[in-house]
Structure 1
């Protein structure tokens, strides 16, 4: 029994190392072609613009022009797709010079995520969670994922004993990145966490009301900008980096009605999965259902959003059991840049494109 446990742990460590190595090999050439911190540059610039004229943040041309110091505007539009509530959290960083803001953001993200990881993972699984491929990518990009992940992990780990705090944290996460917590209301209703649900709605409403200090027209400008954000996704080819049913449908060239049907199926499946997960007391299962379910239910989501699952996956890899290894190893590979389903979708789309070109008259 002891030998089997050590063998499974060794396989898990080797598998994680292999995934991380492959990811870094794939990532480094892309980093050399990227502009300076492509995501945080958008956040920092939007925060600085919001200090003077928040509605102007959703003017894609103006925001792209303000980033010209770091990114040539000819490389395409660089919009800010987040709601005005997100700006409230970013404005303090906009008061700092760029690099001071970036390293401060990095420190906040890493410390917050580390505090949350320890609620889920123990032993070597905790530090290993900080070394998973997407956690590294999120830190490099300066994305919001780790902060939102921290809020969600703390929420789910406290919902039984401190429902008021748990609900408030989930509301803040929703204000920061709405698509990441789409199924939280379903989860709280399924688990009959009525107090947490009330504080979730209350804290989210409070942040929305507070965001009106940025100007009442900011919300209207944000809604109008969402359509232009779809144009930016197509320009930069971000559909191939997506992790949602509708984004996969776009890559495959499916008809609009088929994409809608695929997305609807994702909503139904994810709602059912979250509902069933919150009939149990298993924190890892609940967290996995909320994260994967939100991606299935959302029309837009990127692969790095799976970084939230890092502590769950590392616990499975180091559990020393065959069951944990069989479940965590494929998901850990899914958690890297080389996500197998996404690669298959990209491969199929590329082969189809080559086939069409071959049939074109010369």
Structure 2
């Protein structure tokens, strides 16, 4: 195909994908914005948990943020609609599960009035997200795709921190080879949402990236020391107790609706399996995914494909992921968009795969509204794209990002 034909084809592909992304973006915004204006939609519900925890930290009672009943009293001041919540999960206290290092984010935000803090928090997350996406693939269509994913919208509306965690994970991958010290420091920052980093050590050790491992380990120790000195060592005990209670009596007993756990474990409990059987299957799948990811990283394939495999695999190894965490898959798609083509026409097939994969992820993302766990199917969609990509015989290893 000549250059003019390829340019025309690319233009048509970008235009079709851009229109689809704009439709996906406009649909939920048109539905939600009127409710935000009339006050019937609880914008920033999850962020109210962060803001309240930050308020306690400013009052020198950071450890009290792990007491769900005390935290709920503060949340009710800014989200009084929780007393008439439409979903049963909101009838119990909204918990604060995050490691104490999260207070370094929550406390400065609590210096501001809640609405101002929410919009600053949202703008900062979106800016980080946009910068990482642009660094992966500096094209407007990539930005549109990364923003027009249902989990991204969910994260924005409730004020969660998944976009920030996914941005850090993307930054870690972008700096992994050319700036290993920076990559290690970013890993340390990711401990505020530790499940996002569970797969990283396996890949780093399997590929011998010891500078990253050592930097991350030392930086995490320093962060823990600074956290204890700043917010009190009792926050570590508070987090430990909250994590145990969350595991034994919140996530794994059905107090949190099963459809909210976007994991293999959550799907199986949603289907009626007991704890033992569901957890055994989840662990088996997680182990298989970890092995698969390490095999991909040791193969001579594009770094973009390796990055996508880690992003998709990360969301399958922990039972704790929620729907807004699936925003990470948008980064996986952007990485796959930037993967170099093979010599046998993979450019067209790659574009088709992106279009089909994006369509499936959008449909599954909105299917969550029907209160069903869709996360594993979303991850499986990206893994299928990676599998097809790895089967192409002419895919070469490209330069590492950084």
Kept after mapping to 2: 8 A contact 1:316/1:327: no
Q: TM-score, normalised to structure 1's length?
A: 0.83
Consecutive unaligned residues in structure 1, runs of 5 or more: 349-362
Instruction: Verify: 1:69 aligned to 2:77, yes or no.
Output: yes
CA distance in 1, matches of 2:94, 2:197: 24
The correspondence for 1:301, drawn from 315, 321, 325, is 321
Instruction: Verify: 1:126 aligned to 2:131, yes or no.
Output: no
Q: 1:268 to 1:25 in 2, by over 3 A?
A: farther
Kept after mapping to 2: 8 A contact 1:317/1:329: no
Kept after mapping to 1: 8 A contact 2:308/2:333: no
Deviations 1:323-361 (A, max 9, x none): 22443235424544733896899399xxxxxxxxxxxxx
CA distance in 1, matches of 2:56, 2:215: 31
Q: Which residue is 2:100 aligned to? A: 84
Structure 1 residue 12, shift from structure 2 partner: 3.5
Q: Which residue is 2:284 aligned to? A: 265
Deviations 1:233-257 (A, max 9, x none): 54452x3133211111221111212
Q: Which residue is 2:51 aligned to? A: 44
Deviations 1:171-213 (A, max 9, x none): 111x221011111111211222110111111111211222212
The correspondence for 1:183, drawn from 176, 199, 220, is 199
Structure 1 residue 88, shift from structure 2 partner: 2.3
SS at match of 1:301: coil
Instruction: Verify: 1:147 aligned to 2:164, yes or no.
Output: yes
CA distance in 2, matches of 1:64, 1:272: 41
Kept after mapping to 1: 8 A contact 2:184/2:212: yes
CA distance in 1, matches of 2:31, 2:363: 8
SS at match of 1:67: helix
CA distance in 2, matches of 1:206, 1:212: 10
CA distance in 2, matches of 1:161, 1:286: 16
CA distance in 1, matches of 2:128, 2:373: 37
Kept after mapping to 1: 8 A contact 2:17/2:141: no
CA distance in 1, matches of 2:206, 2:282: 22
Structure 1 residue 45, shift from structure 2 partner: 0.4
Kept after mapping to 1: 8 A contact 2:66/2:238: yes
Instruction: Verify: 1:250 aligned to 2:266, yes or no.
Output: no
Structure 1 residue 284, shift from structure 2 partner: 2.7
CA distance in 2, matches of 1:197, 1:180: 16
Instruction: Verify: 1:195 aligned to 2:211, yes or no.
Output: yes
Structure 1 residue 89, shift from structure 2 partner: 2.4
Instruction: Verify: 1:328 aligned to 2:354, yes or no.
Output: yes
- Count of residues in correspondence between the two structures: 346
Instruction: Verify: 1:60 aligned to 2:65, yes or no.
Output: no
Q: Which residue is 2:128 aligned to? A: 112
Structure 1 residue 135, shift from structure 2 partner: 2.4
CA distance in 1, matches of 2:65, 2:56: 6
Consecutive unaligned residues in structure 2, runs of 5 or more: 84-90, 340-345, 375-402
Instruction: Verify: 1:12 aligned to 2:17, yes or no.
Output: yes
Structure 1 residue 7, shift from structure 2 partner: 5.1
Instruction: Verify: 1:223 aligned to 2:240, yes or no.
Output: yes
Instruction: Verify: 1:339 aligned to 2:365, yes or no.
Output: yes
The correspondence for 1:164, drawn from 181, 198, 205, is 181
Q: 1:344 to 1:113 in 2, by over 3 A?
A: closer
Q: Which residue is 2:312 aligned to? A: 292
Deviations 1:84-135 (A, max 9, x none): 1222222111222212211221222122222211121222233312333332
**Which structure ranks higher in relative contact order (CA pairs < 8 Å, sequence separation ≥ 6)?**
1
Q: Which residue is 2:42 aligned to? A: 35
Kept after mapping to 2: 8 A contact 1:164/1:195: yes
User: Which stretch of the first structure deviates more once superposed, 246-255 or 138-147?
Assistant: 138-147
Q: Which residue is 1:274 aligned to? A: 293
